[in-house]
Amino acid sequence: MSTATPSDPAVHHNANAHRFELAVDGYTAVLDYELQDGVMVITHTGVPDAIGGRGIAGQITRFALDHARAAGWKVVPACSYAAAFMQRHGEYTDLLG
């Protein structure tokens, strides 16, 4: 699966809802966050079972982290998936706030 980047058209940043979304086969995977003083607090990452096991959570999380970096935000992974992802991918440790 390709790596998501901030220019990846597959992932949509719904800024009004504080959510990143990725539609696959009629289902929508999400990463929800709160923005507090330049800190993106990731509160939930969800992938419907019907599209699970394809690396979609990783794709949407990578996109969100790349977006945070581009925006100059720090990140607090309050969601267990996002915390584990950031622990596995050391290239994002500079974002921890």
Domains, the chain:
11-95 (3.40.630.30)
Low-confidence ranges of the chain (pLDDT < 70): 1-9
Give the tens place of pLDDT for each residue, 37-61.
Answer: 999 999 999 999 999 999 999 999 9
Q: How far is 15 from 40, CA to CA, in rounded Å?
A: 12
Element (H, E) at 19: strand 19-24
Q: Residue 50 has what pLDDT? A: 96
